[in-house]
Amino acid sequence: MKNIFLAIFSGVLLSLSWPTYGFAGLLFIAFIPLLVAINNIYNSKVKRDGLKVFGLAYISFVIWNYITTWWLHFADFYAALFAVLANALLMALVIRIYYFAKKRVGSHLSIIFLPALWMSFEKMHLNWDLSWPWLNLGNGFADYYKWIQWYEYTGAFGGTFWVWVVNLTLLTGVLKYLDSKNVYLLIPSSIRAIILIAVPISFSYYIYNNYEEKGIETNVVVLQPNIDPYVEKYKFGDNLLSKQLVELAEKEIKENTSFVLGPETSLPDGSQIRNIDKYKSVKDIKGFVQKNNKTTFVTGATLVQWYFDKNDATETARASRNKKSWYDVYNSAISINNSDSISVYHKSKLVVGVENMPFRNIIQPLLGNVVIDLGGTIGTLGIQENRSVFTNKNYNITTAPIICYESVYGEFVTGYVKNGANILSVITNDGWWNNTQGHKQHLSFSRLRAIENRRGVARSANTGISAFINQRGDILKSLPYGVKGSISENIKANTEITVYTEFGDSIVRIAMFIAMIIFLYVLTIKKKSVAY
């Protein structure tokens, strides 16, 4: 019973550490109760100890996943339930593998293996069909962004490593104290942990206080139409939404405005890419940029690409009813100005279930064209391989059209910057989750992308929160959730490249190599019986 309580305690600590209501400092102790419980099982020599370790870890992680992401059920209850239970399952498997290694090689090597293994799991979670990196540990410092200005060197995985190093440092002292009841044995590990926390934070504050924003200043306008994505949106005609966007833009447009941003999927569903300029909604926006001829208008759209030869169809294309043509549906961003043809970018990091059927190559031959509707977008969407950027040639400023969920992926976003983006534009629709922690957490994660790349962020969210974030991660201006309106702000367009932008998740690649070497070693030796 004591071990179950310890597992619950870890789950609660992890939950209370998370944005946007939590205190990130709790991350530095959150895993200790669970690891103490695991050590109790290790020393007790009980039967089915591996199963019990897995069960305790699962308790911790179900609590953490549910408390921090319960709001997913507003989109779909069963999808939310699956996300909580499956993500907790994967996390618990990581702990179970760690315990397997601990039994074979003892504590000293396994204590190196654990953070390397966890970081490898987080990296895997960025790049497979069930990708859900929302709870990657480095994200937990999003609201305490002044602590992690050094993410410009390491990215968010530096935060994950930091969390594990401090937890494991404190754990050694806690286990010695529990074994001897000598409180003085806590002092050495506590001092080391304080240094491990204080030095990075002090360095971060030094960077924050001395950082000067770089680049030329540009004015950007973001729009927040506040349209209910479930019902209200589908009551509008072909161009009523575009008229609302233009009206909101006209309220804030300045002579030096380089970009106007509308939110995700603002324009009518089903616009065909090949004749997109013929649609009334696009013509409305074209009329706006003709009057404001130095401004580029970027907004979301649901687009369709038709193929009349099966050999031309992509892997994600679906057959029409008559089976004589095929089509892709895209969640896209479009760029409209007064001089160039319309530019298009297709969202490439898709939401599992809502936009992407996981393991489609396996499932589709068995079940056919299964259609999944979890509140918004239907089926498996098309994607594009490379990151497109949109340029305003009048001001020589280039922006990254980051669509919704893509903003959670650190190294992915660096692809836009490497392709020339000197400001980041996030266009999203967080209205699926109502006024919960979901949209607040999503906004906070954009601060991480600003710091990693030292790029200002302009964020247009359908129902909010729309905002501007500077290169240090400060929120300069915002519109509250559930408010219709528009705001403008001057932000700097930086052209310099950070270490993280250049090298990406190098720290986790080192961790993956270490984890692989240790795991191979674990598999080749006999089980040890070594305690902490």
Whole-number Cα distances in Å, 195 to 199, 200, 203, 248, 499: 6, 9, 12, 50, 25
The structural domains of the chain, with segments of one domain joined by +, span 2-211+505-524, 216-495
Helix extents (H) in 296-397: 360-367
Peptide bond between residue 465 and the one before it cis (omega within 30 degrees of 0): yes
Q: 492 pLDDT exceeds 90?
A: yes
Confidence of residue 527 (pLDDT cuts 50, 70, 90): low
φ, ψ of residue 352 to 5 degrees: the values are -60, 135
* Rounded Cα distance, 425 and 399, in Å: 6
395: how many CB neighbours lie within 10 A of its CB? 18
Residue 415 and residue 386 in contact, taking contact as beta carbons nearer than 8 Å: yes
pLDDT tens for residues 113-159? Answer: 999 999 999 999 999 888 899 999 999 999 999 999 999 999 999 99
pLDDT score, position 365: 54
Q: What dotted CATH number matches 216-495?
A: 3.60.110.10
Report which of 141, 180, 135 is spatially closest to residue 159, judged by C-alpha positions.
141
The 10s digit of each residue's pLDDT in 21-74 is: 999 999 999 999 999 999 999 888 788 888 999 999 999 999 999 999 999 888
The model's pLDDT over 269-281, given as tens digits with 9 standing for 90+, comes to: 667 777 787 788 8
Mean pLDDT of 298-322: 82
Residues 25, 19: Cα–Cα separation, whole Å: 11
